[in-house]
Amino acid sequence: MAGKEAQLAEFDRQINASNFWDDPAHAQQVSKSAAGLREEIASWRGFEHRIHDAVELAGLDDPSLRTELEAEIAAIEEELNKRSFTAMLSGPYDTDDALLAIHAGAGGTDSQDWAAMLLRMYLRWADQHGFSTEVLDMTEGEEAGIKSTTVAVNGRYAYGYLRSEKGVHRLVRLSPFDSAHRRHTSFALVEVLPQVAMDSPEVHIDPSEIKIDVYRSSGAGGQNVQKNATAVRLTHLPTGIVVTCQNERSQTQNRENALKVLRSRLLEMKRVEKEEEIAVLRGEYTKAEWGSQIRSYVIHPYQMVKDHRTEFEVGNSQGVLDGDLDGFMEAYLRQAGK
């Protein structure tokens, strides 16, 4: 805690400087980091006082307080478990906001419907944890579901929690789109990226290396076509990365969101390249294939969701699809921290 308080003191020193707002983007990032850190420190101090009060209550040795004390101890233990979960989020970007992208895989309409189910699952999970979400881009399926979507998930530790979800997710169910009602297997790819501050030195984008196209956004089947060209497509010429954003009515806002996604994708590309270099040096590098799922969701012939990395599984598929993901996230973080 002393380290976090020292970090907060440094943020406050910067905030109180007379030239702090000379760089608005940097100032906003520092202010946001300071606010999150201040809230975290206050929360821990409050928890410490709660434990102290419980110890004092126990020291009274009053039988009439036993029921109240037992309830408070149980609540403290539950809170401690939650905080130990958060304590595992110590990666370089774990406290940051996240970008969540979902792409339907092979399987046609079933996979597009599965991608939409995953989107609903993550939006519900985010809402349950107090994270705000904004859909930046979405391509809807021809018959049902979505082909792809990109969502900003904002809140302290959003990336730390969601990074466990990166990979291919598989669904097994009786297809509602099959007239014979046969069992189908569908796949969708989930990407999770940290949102990168505009003033971050880790990612530099030369404006001359970006091709910008604007076009009219539309909903499914060509519906809701806007009269003005507000959708934005950015192409980063050195890497070939293409980013689209079309959910805002303002072309300027779509452009800013597209740049946000591009910065995150460039950072992720650098991270992957670095990890691959290290793996090659260690003699353990194997190319990651799209088709190897990290988790299977079975709705028929039985109910089960199983994570193939940690072997963690639950028998309530609908509960998971309604956003109950913490058990999977915790199992992944505990394994990653070993």
CATH of residue 59: 1.20.58.410
Residue 292 forms part of a structural domain:
no
How open is the CA angle 102-96-3, to the nearest 5 degrees? 155
pLDDT at 290: 54
Confidence category of residue 119, pLDDT binned at 50, 70, 90: very high
Same domain, 49 and 127: no
Residues with Cβ within 8 Å of 232's Cβ and at least 6 positions away in sequence, in order, are: 212, 213, 214, 244, 245, 246, 251, 254, 255, 258
Confidence category of residue 222, pLDDT binned at 50, 70, 90: very low
**Each residue's pLDDT tens digit, 7-42:** 788 888 888 888 888 888 778 778 877 887 887 788
Would you say residue 223 has pLDDT above 80?
Answer: no
Q: Which domain holds residue 264?
A: 207-282
Query: Between the CA of residue 301 and those of 108, 184, 187, 268, 282, what are the distances in Å?
Result: 21, 11, 18, 38, 43
Query: Rounded to whole angstroms, how far apart are CA atoms 297 and 315?
Result: 10
Residue 181 forms part of a structural domain:
yes
For the residues 205-220, what does the mean pLDDT come to? 81
Same domain, 106 and 148: yes
Query: Rounded to whole angstroms, how far apart are CA atoms 283 and 120?
Result: 40
Within a 10 A sphere around the Cβ of 272, how many other Cβ atoms? 11
Q: How many domains does the chain have?
A: 3
Tell which wins on pLDDT, 82 or 265: 265
Check the CA dihedral 116-121-125-128 and report its sign. positive
pLDDT at 1: 66
Residue 287 forms part of a structural domain:
no
- Residue 181, CB-side half-sphere exposure with 13 Å CA sphere: 2
Same domain, 118 and 182: yes
What CATH code is carried by the domain that includes residue 191?
3.30.70.1660
**Each residue's pLDDT tens digit, 250-293:** 888 898 899 989 999 998 888 888 777 766 666 654 444 455 78
Average pLDDT, the chain: 85
Query: Rounded to whole angstroms, how far apart are CA atoms 47 and 83?
Result: 10
Would you say residue 89 has pLDDT above 90?
Answer: no
Same domain, 275 and 153: no
Last residue of a domain, one of 64, 87, 110: 87
